[in-house]
Amino acid sequence: MASTPASWRSEAQPFDRIMLYRGDITRVDTAAIVNAANASILGGGGVDGAIHREGGPAIVEECRRIRLADYPDGLPTGQAVITTGGKLPAGRVIHTVGPIWHGGLLGEPDLLAACYRNSLLLAAENNLDSVSFPGISTGAYGYPKDEAASVAVREVRKFLARHARPQTVVFVTFDEESRQLYEQELSR
């Protein structure tokens, strides 16, 4: 699973403007990567912790400024903000807060869809040609991986059908089960 920032492309599966790659999102050199953040946007566990660790202090410093200026109570679920990528191969990080799974009865699918839409909108507004997504909310937040993959693929396809930017979206999965679930969704 180790890759250099440029080699991941040869390992990714293409699906028109969408690509699927199993690996480490912190090694992907798209214009931006999406961070499945917690409301503090100051770092945490899982992909959030990895992005902050690998990206270095510039990311958390910018997140602190955003918190102080715009979100003193934390970034609301479904919203997104953009920062530098620090030392990451990706130049920018889009932070979004996914929903905690409560059985799907508290609006989780709509909130998860908003994460993808708002992240893609930020990418388009910043004229970014490519963005990579992890499986938002599928770790500690407990969102079922199959349902999350369905929401992710649906929202990305809808957005790309109406927008020229980003040119390419990459779904980056950490495990083989998730890769297979995305492959199934993308093959429909």
CATH number for the domain harbouring residue 168: 3.40.220.10
Tell whether 129 is covered by a domain: yes
Number of domains into which the chain is organized: 1
Give the burial class of 96: count Cβ atoms within 10 A of its Cβ; 0-12 exposed, 13-18 middle, 19 or more buried.
buried
Q: How far apart are CA 95 and CA 99, in angstroms?
A: 13
Tell whether 132 is covered by a domain: yes
Tell whether 135 is covered by a domain: yes
Residue 48 bears catalytic tag:
yes
Q: Which residues constitute the domain of residue 68? A: 11-186
Catalytic residue among 16, 24, 29, 48: 48
Tell whether 16 is covered by a domain: yes
Tell whether 111 is covered by a domain: yes
Mean pLDDT of the chain: 96
Tell whether 1 is covered by a domain: no
| Mean pLDDT of the region 3-7 | 67
Condensed to tens digits (0 to 9), the pLDDT of residues 19-39 reads 999 999 999 999 999 999 999
Strand pairing category for 18-22 and 13-15: antiparallel
pLDDT class of 7 with cuts at 50, 70, 90: confident
Tell whether 4 is covered by a domain: no
Q: What is the pLDDT, as a whole number, of residue 1?
A: 46
